[in-house]
């Protein structure tokens, strides 16, 4: 997440490779994917639930927690708006197919919008998405290798 948001804000990022973290936050909220038992932000949502005096974590709790820690992320700075803005700089997105925190289904819209942006710049070869089968929210040797290869391809002396 930090890589893609950093690149959105700062054009000095020449090549971008977010590993484990590209998702549509709004999609996660709207599709109740924040309720996964092993979600990375479960503790945050529990604290917000308690502070709001709610019995259960629900959509309202999640939205308020997200808006508190990252104002605008669910609306103005979510991946469908920020990922395409990285074009034409090289962007490789790597996610695990089984990641409960970054569901692959939520990648559909930013992937489509980014593809359109890279096509408009006539540099579709600067954009790639890798979804590693059988992998959850973890970094693998394969992901490190793909990242290194991407950097080598675009960061030439």
Question: What are the structural domain ranges in the chain?
Answer: 2-24+79-154, 25-77
How far CA 156 is from CA of 8, 132, 151, in Å, comes to 22, 27, 8
Nearest C-alpha neighbor of 8 from the set 106, 107, 81: 81
Q: Return phi, psi of residue 28, to 5°.
A: -60, -45
Q: What is the mean pLDDT of residues 96-112?
A: 90
> Which pair of tokens denotes residue 66?
């997200």
Predicted confidence at residue 130, as pLDDT, reads: 96
pLDDT at 38 over 60: no
Indicate whether 32 pLDDT > 90: no
The two most distant CA atoms of the chain are separated, in Å, by 57
pLDDT of residue 36: 62
Q: How buried is 24 (Cβ within 10 angstroms: 0-12 exposed, 13-18 middle, 19+ buried)?
A: buried
CA distance 2 to 25: 14
Q: Are 89 and 107 in contact (CB under 8 A)?
A: no
- Write down the pLDDT at residue 2: 83
Q: Please say if the pLDDT value at position 114 is more than 80.
A: yes
HSE at residue 17, side-chain half, CA atoms within 13 A, is 16
Tell me if the pTM is above 0.75: yes
Beta-sheet pairing, 91-96 with 127-132:
parallel
How far apart CA 102 and CA 82 sit, in angstroms, is 16
Question: Of the given ranges (82-91, 94-103, 137-146), which has the lowest mean pLDDT?
Answer: 94-103
Average the pLDDT over 12-16 and give the result: 96
Q: How many Å apart are CA 104 and CA 107, to the nearest integer?
A: 5
**What fold does the segment set 2-24+79-154 form as a domain?**
Rossmann fold (3.40.50)
């Amino acid at each position: 997440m930090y890589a893609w948001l950093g690149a959105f804000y700062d054009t000095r990022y020449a090549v971008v490779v977010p590993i484990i973290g590209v998702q549509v936050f709004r999609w996660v909220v709207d599709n109740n994917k924040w309720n996964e038992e092993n979600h990375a932000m479960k503790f945050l949502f529990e604290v917000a639930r308690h502070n709001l005096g709610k019995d259960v974590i629900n959509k309202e709790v999640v939205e308020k927690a997200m808006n508190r820690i990252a104002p605008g992320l669910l609306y103005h700075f979510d991946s469908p708006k920020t990922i395409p803005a990285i074009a034409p700089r090289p962007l490789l997105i790597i996610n695990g197919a089984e990641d409960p925190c970054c569901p692959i289904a939520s990648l559909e819209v930013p992937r489509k919008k980014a593809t359109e942006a890279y096509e408009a710049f006539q540099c579709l070869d600067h954009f790639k998405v890798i979804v590693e089968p059988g992998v959850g929210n973890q970094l693998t040797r394969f992901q490190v290798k793909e990242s290194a290869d991407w950097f080598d391809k675009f960061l030439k002396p």
